[in-house]
Structures are given as structure tokens and as C-alpha cells.
Amino acid sequence: MVETDNGFNRAFSIRTDMRRIMLRGSPRSFWIQEDNMKYFKLKGYSSVIAGRSYNKSGGVLAYVRSGINYFHTVESNESAEMLKIRVPKCLQGGADLTLLVVYRSHSETIDSFLNKFKETVRASQLNTIILGDININILDENNSATLDYLDLMHAEGFKTMIKEVTREESNSCLDHVMVKTRNLSNFKVNPLKTQITDHYSQMIEIHSMKPTERTINKSFQLVDSGRLKDLVRRVNWGFVYDEANSIGSKFDSFLSILDECRKGSMYTINLTSKTRRRNPWVTQDLVKLTGLKNDLHKKWTNAKKNNRREAEIAQAERNYRNLAKEVTFKIKKAKEEHFRSKFEGCENDPKIFWKTVNSLTKAEKETQIKMIRLNENEVEVAGNEELIANHFNRYYTGIAETLLQNVTPHQAKALDPLAPAWREERMGWKKVSEREVIGVIRSLKNKKSSGHDGWTAEDMKSIVDHVVPPLTSLINESLAEGYFPETLKAGVVVPIYKNGPKNEMRNYRPISLLCVLSKIIERVVKRQLLEFLNAMDFFSSSQFGFLEGKSTDHAVAEHVQSIVMGLESRRRVGALYLDLAKAFDLVNVDLLLTKLLLAGVRDAPGRWFGSFLTERRQSVKLGERLSQPEPVRHGVPQGSTLAPILFLIYLNDICDVEIQGKFFCFADDTALVWRSDSVTNLVSQVERDMREVSAWFMKNKLVLNAEKSKLIHFRYTSLHLPKEIAVVIHRAECGGPSPCTCPVVRESESARYLGMTVDNRLTWGQHVDLLRSRLSRLVYGLRILKPMLDLEARIRLYQAIFLATLRYGIIHYGGTFVSVTRRLFSVLRLSQKIVGIQKGDQSGLIQGFEGLYYQASFMWVAKNLHRYTIDRQESSRLTRRGKYLRLALPRVDHDH
């Protein structure tokens, strides 16, 4: 059913499966044909049908409210009945809406349906909704046919709007709503859980607001880089080198002068309702040509109106059409060149890839917060920005206190066995050179975001030659005095929606924006801190996060190897994947400073970190409004360069806890692996060790989220093993084996760890299925960008984005059963076809999956030769096995 009201706010309600909703009576179903439609009329609605001529129990019937202009076609085949309804110029901007209502009989195979359906899907335009009873359970992600269907939809830019049960009898989702549109926030899907039929109906509301006539009166202030450079060049920085001035006053004066220079270099742009934003590829020459084209069009129109001679009219028309072709060609070329240049040197950045794809499809991402729940009431943000911002700020700064309310205070003992060891080494500052500061500034990414002072990286780069000498002097004095400027401790937080209900503050991720000068100083400090810590081999070998020479590949490789070695030795193997609640936000500053002291960061470096970490504050920004600043008492500074390394220092001694299991850490992503001779002993071992780990968490004031932690019992087969095991995560204060209220973690089939989905039999099947879904979305992006890029640019993009995604973790999952990896073959070939790599290509670009796996494996071995045994050359002659690598080949013994 398609409806619309007569106001500016239009909403279309589409209810699927109408043949049952409206027609069900005492019989199970009705068979409606063209000749008996007169008995099923609705007053005020017209009806269209795509019925079956050769069978019963199928077809599509739609009702459209009278007064709505629409066109329809029947696109049925032997696999499905499809009714296509197009409602012209009903969306914002005069765009059409297309509804493709589908019924697929469960008696037809899914493969047969998809072979015919894919051409219809690939021909779909923007603002298309595919809906109906497809009879494919999209909740069953282990079904290859389901994945083929979802891959097709994702590769063509459709989003799944409903992922919940629509048929209770089979606990399945058979009724689908797939949307291909610019702005998903305009769509809302509600299941109608009625008892009219055994399927729930789906109602879609499409809000297409007609723009109201309003006067836009906005002004933007921009920085004239030339003017800024000239103003900074004239400054006398003598006060920086005056020893009579304190470091605090020097920094205050320095920042104040920079702020005055920036304000003096700014100019204002006023926008009105008549102001049009020019596309970035439109040059001034193209603007002039377009104006000339419009003038020629007017001359041609006037010639016809004034009844000029036919030859004169024809000449005017030729002049206009020739120039119109030239303008169209030049705009197309300029657009291609613009998008080609965007990827030059940036092919490895997925953010740029998707940002460009979205700009081409004009896909809008809803960033504006409209409604927020405050004290059980929903408050509209518009007009209450400052109020909402203040609530957000109090929520973010209060997260730590809320989580720590249920944590029992730890009473430190004189000789606490969990305390990290005192190190005799002592860190000292090295003098920072101007050359180093220049390198740091030039290495900053050119982002438009800025801290509370308004300075961007581009602004700082424009004055680098004139600001570096005084800045270098200030940095050196800051380190020597152990002082971090108060002004640079303030952060600005912007809430970004992640998932869940949009009216809940907990569903918004805080993105912190710090001053660019803070980033410069932090990068200088980070280099010296890492040099000191690495020189004394400070970090645990079980920690792989944010450290040079280590990566997620290393962490997963060590983790999987530990599991396989346990299974190969015929032992019971279990792993626990821990979820730490807001770990970075819960870091206790006093404890962190103590750990820095114990690690050898004392004297001036210790005072500097004390100044850097204390008395920090933040504000939340909504639109153009800032909240009142709130003190930040917990956590490492969000968005700071030093935050990851400081967190590693805080977490480092967890790996020193004496347990039988083995730690694998990548920052706060922590996994533990145990091996035992029996399932009973394995459970006891896990519970005993986790009591010690829980005690460490309590002492260090971190919170383990047991509900989100995952337990996996690995096996090659399920024979002779209990179906499910569970472990109790005893709190440190728990008395003993008697029944307690400590949380229980039950066995799961799989867990997500560092971007890989690890399953309990190491088949990697679930990982491959999720990867295929992600690659299908990349295929859609490649398809959108194809017309904008030449073959060489497409190949570079394919290698940097698509193959990089496919290769991540391939050394782990690539060697599994062919029946699993075969699921990736079709999407790999489709991507190559879109890019333009021909099947007979001899350049090596047409690598199949096996070739990619072997290549990645060889590269991994070459980079990690220390992990393998090399046969020694016993003969004086060079033999074929002179440098033979001994690789451990698992037996994959199914006896356990």
C-alpha cells in the first residue's frame, strides 16, 4: 500500500505481503487473478497485480492511494513475481521513488532466482526500495545461498533495513526491505506484529521534507595564509629567550601572540539564500563557459520567440549545442581529474575511499543530533544546544565514576606482589632541535579540525619557518622545567553517532580535538619516551599494540600458534577473550604516574608527565555551541598522541601476573589461552587464573565486562566432549567454592579478536563469511568510482583497498578448507572485472585467491625467519636443501 498526505511533509507507507494481510479469512489463502480483481477493490485506492498464471500461492498485489501519480510494470519470471512501481518527483529535489515488490516461491531454488534477479538489481537506480516475501532467511549467515543474496545487494549499494524475525514459526527473517538511497535517516521500518498471517508485515515510512523558503544568513571566517605568514614574520620573539620570564608566562605570551596573528589574518564570507556552493572541480574558466552557454541558449530562445528567419534560428541552435557539448566534455574531464588527484598518494586510506564514494553518490550521513533523552524525557536539540552539550559533557566525564561505583577499593600492601618492579634506569631529556620540530610539523595530517584555539595543521605549516625557533626553545624549556601549558590541556569533544537508538547519549562516541601545538609537543616527547623504554626492553613480549616491529598479524599468529600447538599435543585448549569496559577512560592518573616512576621516568620527565596528565578539562561542542568545561579526573587524554603509549605502560604489568595461561595483548584487546589434560582441569585452571587477573584489575581500577567477554573451547571434533563449558569469573574478594554471585562466562562458538573471527574449530568459516560481506560493499565502491578513474588508477585503488582488505589475516585463514575459501572466489573475480583486469591478463594482477595466499605466506616467512628452523649446510657443496626451512605442519588429529 502506498500513501501520501497533502502537506509539505510527505510520508510513504509501504506494507508488504498484502495478499495475505487483507485477504486472509477462514481459508489458508486466496488465489487472485486479473479477472476477479473486482471483488478485492478498496475505496480510494487503485490496485495493480503481478499474479501467477500457472500456479497458486504466489504473486504480488499493491494498493496505491488515489491522487498519486505512478507508473507500474510487471517484471515476473518463472522464479519470482515482481511488481515495479515508480512514483515520479515525490522526493526532495524532484527525485523519483521506485518500489520493487517481490515474491519468491520457496519451491524455486535460490540460485535460480539470483541468476535472474541480479540483472534487475544491477539496473536499479538511486532511491530504489526492494521489498517483499523473498523466502530467504537473512538471519542464517552460515547459509551460502543467503550470503550470495546479501553480497549481491551490498555490491549494488543496497542497505538491509530489517534484521529481525518476521516469521515466528521458523524463527526466520524472510520478508526483506532493502534500500538504495542517499540518506537512510529518512527511512524508518516498523514490523507490524499482527496475527492476520504467519508473516509479520513491514511498514516503511519515507520522510521526504519539502524545503521551506527561508533566508540563509551564515558567515564563515577563513584564514588568509599569506597574511598570517606576514604577521608572524614581523613578531619579535625576544621574550621567549629572556631568562627572567617564567616558562608559564612565556607560553601564555607565545600563544596569545599567535592568536592575535590568526585573528588579524581572518576574513569573512557571508552566505545568503542565493549563494551557491561550487563543486570543487568547477574552475573559473568553466564558470565563464557555462555563462556563455546560457547566453547562447537565451539567444536561441529569443530567436524563436521573435520569429526570426529559419536560417538564423538554426545557426543560434548550432552555436548553443556545440558549446553545450564542449562544456559537458570539459566538466566531465575536470571531474575525472579531480577525483583522480584525490587518490594520488592516498590509495591506502579507506576513509578517503568511502568519502569519495559517498560524494559521488551524494550519500548523506546523518551527523546532526536531533533528540536526546534527558531524565526520561526526550528533548529537542534545536534551541537547546548548550543544555544538551552540558549533559553530554557531564556524561562523558562521569563515565569512570559510574563504572567504578561497584569496584571494591583495593588496600595496597607493603609488599604488593602485583606491583611492577622498580627499575634503576633513569630517563633524561635530550635537547630538541629545530630540524626535528620542523619534521614533526610537516608530518601532521592536513585536517580541517582544530582544538579550542582554532589552529589547524595547515595554518601551522604555513608559518613553520617563522615559528619554529621560538617554539623549539619553549619545548626544550618545558621539558627541563617539567611544565605543560595549562591552555593546551583543554580538549573539545564532538559526539559522533555509532549505533543503537539515536536519542541515547551512550550511543555517541566522543571524538576529542586537541590543539595542534599540543600534538607537536607530544610527538617530540613520545619519541624520547619510546627510545628510553625500548632501550631497557620495558614492554612485555605478550604486548603487540602500538609498538614498532609488532602488529595485529604478529598477535594473531602467536595466538593461533599457541592454540594449534595445544591441540597437536592432544591437550584440551581454551581461550578467554576479555572485554574491558572503557579501559582508556578508566586509567587512574595517580597509578599511572606511579608506574612511570617505577619505570624510571623520574625527575624532570616525571614532573612533565605529572603536569601533562593532571588538571585537564574538556568541553563538548554541538553545532556552534560549547558546553561549560568540566574537569577530567580519569583516563589518558583522549585524542592525544601519547595516550596509546601511556596506556601500554599502565597495562604492561598485567602480563607479569603469575598464571598458567598465556597472555596475548594488543592494547586493551586481551586474550588468554590455556592448555590442560582434561576439560575439568581446564575449567579449574581458567577459574583459578582469572581470580588472579581479577585481582589485578581491581588493584588497577579497571572493570572487566564479563557479559561481553567470550570463552571458546577449541577442538577438531565434537566427539566425546561436553556440549558446553562455563567458567566463573570470581572476584578478588570472593570467599571460595560455595555458591557465589560472581559472573559466569559460557562457551561461545566464536569470538572477534583483532579483526579476525576465531571459531572453536579454527575453520575460519565465520570470518570468511563476514569478510565476503565487507568485500561486497567495496565492490560497490569500485563500481561507483570506475567512470572517474583510468585503468592505472583503478588498479592502484583495487590493490590498495580491495586486496589490502582481502590480505589482512590471509596467512591465518587462507590455508583452511577450499570449501570455505571458495566463498570468496566470486567476489574476487567480480572486483577484477569491474576494475577492468581481463581474464587472460599476464601481468600477475589477475591472481586468484590461492596465489594471494601463497604470496602473503612467502612474504610473512621472509620477514619472520627467526620464527623458523633453517637446516644447516653440512656439505661443502651447495645442495638443494642447503637453506631448507622446517615448517611445523599440524597433524589435524581428529582424536580429541
Helix (H, G, I), strand (E, B) or coil at 554: helix
Q: Is residue 246 part of a domain?
A: no
The SS3 of residue 561 is helix
Same structural domain, 756 and 769: no
pLDDT in the model for residue 212: 46
Please give the Cα distance from 579 to 564 (Å, whole number): 23
Kindly calculate the radius of gyration of the chain based on its CA atoms and give it in whole angstroms: 32
* Residue 441: inside a domain: no
* Three-class DSSP labels, 200-265: CEEEEEEEEECCCCCCCCEEEEEECHHHHHHHHHCCCCHHHHCCCCCHHHHHHHHHHHHHHHHHHC
Both 777 and 732 in one domain: the answer is no
284 vs 634: which has the higher pLDDT: 634
Helix, strand, coil abundance in the chain, percent, nearest 5: 45, 20, 40
User: Residue 20, SS3?
Assistant: helix
- Parallel, antiparallel or unpaired: strands 371-374 and 71-74: unpaired
Q: Are residues 703 and 563 both part of a single domain?
A: yes
Report the predicted TM-score, pTM, of the whole model to 2 decimal places: 0.83
**672 in the same domain as 564:** yes
Confidence of residue 433 (pLDDT cuts 50, 70, 90): very high
Same domain, 778 and 710: no
pLDDT digits (tens, 9 = 90+) for 497-547: 888 888 888 899 999 999 999 999 999 999 999 999 999 999 999 999 999
Question: Is the distance from CB of 239 to CB of 253 less than 8 angstroms?
Answer: yes
Q: Of the ranges 215-224, 396-405, 420-429, which one carries the lowest mean pLDDT score?
A: 215-224
The mean pLDDT value for 870-883 works out to: 58
Nearest alpha-carbon partner for 686 in 674, 669, 697: 674
Per residue, the 3-state secondary structure of 46-65, as one string, reads: EEEEECCCCCCCCCEEEEEE
The top-scoring range by mean pLDDT among 467-476, 714-723, 851-860 is 467-476
| Domain around 148 | 9-209
- Given this model, what pLDDT does residue 29 score? 45
Note whether 653 and 735 are same-domain residues.
yes
Beta strands in 25-158 (DSSP E): 45-50, 60-65, 71-74, 80-87, 97-104, 128-133
- Neighbouring residues of 236: CB distance < 8 A, sequence distance ≥ 6: none
Count of domains for the chain? 4
The 10s digit of each residue's pLDDT in 10-37 is: 333 333 333 333 333 333 444 556 666 6
Domain boundary residue among 209, 225, 250?
Answer: 209
The verdict on residue 378 lying in a domain is no
Q: Which of 175, 209, 243 is the last residue of a domain?
A: 209
End residue of a domain, out of 185, 209, 233: 209
Determine the 3-state secondary structure of 380 from DSSP.
Answer: strand
Q: The CATH number of the domain where 719 resides is what? A: 3.30.70
- Phi then psi for residue 546, to 5 deg, are 60, 25
Task: Based on the fold, state whether residues 180 and 306 are members of the same structural domain.
Answer: no
* pLDDT computed for residue 884 by the predictor: 61
Mean pLDDT throughout 330-353? 76
φ/ψ (deg, to 5) at 376: 70, 0
Residue 892 lies in a domain: no
As a whole number, mean pLDDT of residues 212-218 equals: 55
**pLDDT digits 0-9 by tens, 623-663:** 888 999 999 999 999 999 999 999 999 999 999 999 999 99
Q: Degrees (nearest 5) of the Cα angle 614, 617, 619?
A: 165
Write down the residue that cell numbers 583543554 correspond to: 490
State the chain's mean pLDDT as an integer.
84
Mark whether 735 and 655 lie in a shared domain.
yes
Domain-embedded: residue 452: no
Highest mean pLDDT among 65-74, 176-185, 466-475, 854-863: 466-475
Q: How far apart are CA 323 and CA 643, in angstroms?
A: 58
Please check the confidence at residue 3 and state whether its pLDDT lies above 50.
no
Q: Does residue 396 surpass a pLDDT of 70?
A: yes
User: Rounded CA gap, 843 and 836, in Å?
Assistant: 13
Burial letters 387-407, b for 16+ CB under 10 A, else e: bbbbbbbebbbebbeebbeee
Question: 272-286, 687-701, 777-791: which has the highest mean pLDDT?
Answer: 687-701
Mean pLDDT of 57-76: 84
For residue 55, the domain's CATH number is 3.60.10.10
Find out whether 575 and 671 touch, Cβ atoms under 8 Å: yes
Whether residue 845 is predicted with pLDDT greater than 70 in this model: the reply is no
424 three-state secondary structure: coil
Same domain, 708 and 808: no
What number is the average pLDDT over the span 287-301?
Answer: 91
Considering the chain, what percentage of its residues have pLDDT values greater than 70? 84
Span 176-200, average pLDDT: 79
Flag whether 676 is in a domain: yes
Specify if 58 maps to a domain: yes
Who's near 315: CB < 8 A, 6+ residues apart? Answer: none
750/645 same-domain check: yes
Same-domain check for residues 643 and 559: yes
- Same domain flag for 655 and 791: no
Domain assignment present for 248: no
Positive or negative, the CA dihedral 715, 719, 720, 723 is positive
Q: Which grid cell sits at 151? A: 553480497
Report yes or no: 46 and 72 within 8 Å, Cβ to Cβ. no
